[in-house]
Amino acid sequence: MILGLVQILFFQSLGELVSKFVFPSLPGPVIGLVLLLIWLVINKNISESLAFVADGFSKYLGILFVPAAVGVVLFLPQLKANAVPIVGALVVSVVLTIACSALVLKLLTKKTDTHE
């Protein structure tokens, strides 16, 4: 368990360093997550301790939505005043996300079909 936690904290710290010196506009934890993903793809396996820690974290992901919910309630007057642009942006982003996901899935299934 300790090794898995150390791996996660190492990649988050590495992401913070990269964010500080190379990509200051990107959040460090996001860069660290991408670096961890690249590491896992290169190694082609997940250690048992890392899987254990990740499973433990995933059980409590819902708690991370509490600050966002508080922010929504706090800024409710501004949200009401700008409801139409916000809904428009949400609809457009959902449609683009679905379209991009479908395109990626189509491209990936073509590659998989040709290899069989």
Tokens found for residue 23: 């990509």
Q: Is the pTM of this model over 0.85?
A: no
pLDDT digits (tens, 9 = 90+) for 70-97: 888 888 899 899 999 999 999 999 999 9
Using pLDDT thresholds of 50, 70 and 90, give the confidence band for residue 115.
low
Buried (b) or exposed (e) across 16-28, using 16+ Cβ within 10 A?
A: eebbeeeeeeeeb
From residue 61, give the alpha-carbon distance in Å to each of 53, 56, 57, 95. Answer: 13, 9, 7, 25
Question: For residue 11, which of 26, 23, 29, 24 has the smallest C-alpha distance?
Answer: 29
Q: How confident is the model over 17-26, as pLDDT tens digits?
A: 999 999 888 8
